[in-house]
Amino acid sequence: MRREVDLSQTTKLAAGECPYCQNRLSGHTGPAKPEPGDMSVCGLCGGYLKFDDGMRLRALTPADHVELTNNPEVAKMLGVLRDMVTKHRKVH
Ligand SMILES: [Zn+2]
C-alpha cells in the first residue's frame, strides 16, 4: 500500500456515486492518484468509501475495517478527511 498522502490533490473520477447518501461524486480528494483498493471519504456525508477493481466507489466491508485497523496511517488520513467534510458542512 502506498504511504504518501497529499490532501491538496483532487482527482476527477469518470463516475462515482456514494453508497451511503446516493449523491453523485465528481471528484476524489485524498491520495493524488487513487487506485483500486484505495479508500476515500465521501465529500458530502463523510462516509468511508473504497474503490473497487473498476474504480467504482463502494461502502467498506467488515474486512476493510480490519484492514484499516492494521493500517493506522490510512485510518488517520480518512479521519482527517472526515473532519474536513464535517467542518465544511457546519458552515452551511
Ligand atoms: Zn455520501
Ranges of each domain in the chain: 10-91
Q: Quote the pLDDT of residue 12.
A: 57
What is the distance in A from the centroid of ligand 1 to the CA of 72? 23
Q: Quote the pLDDT of residue 80.
A: 93
Within 8 A by CB and 6+ apart from 14, the residues are 55
Say if strands 27-29 and 57-59 run parallel, antiparallel, or are unpaired.
Answer: unpaired
Within 8 A by CB and 6+ apart from 6, the residues are 31, 32
What is the distance in A from the centroid of ligand 1 to the CA of 21? 4
Please give the grid coordinates belonging to residue 19.
453508497
What is the distance in A from the centroid of ligand 1 to the CA of 4? 24
Mean pLDDT over all residues of the chain? 81
What is the distance in A from the centroid of ligand 1 to the CA of 59? 10
What is the distance in A from the centroid of ligand 1 to the CA of 10? 17
Please give the model's pTM, rounded to 2 decimal places.
Answer: 0.72
Instruction: Render pLDDT for 24-65 as a digit per residue (tens, 0 to 9).
Output: 876 655 556 788 998 988 888 999 999 899 888 899 999 999
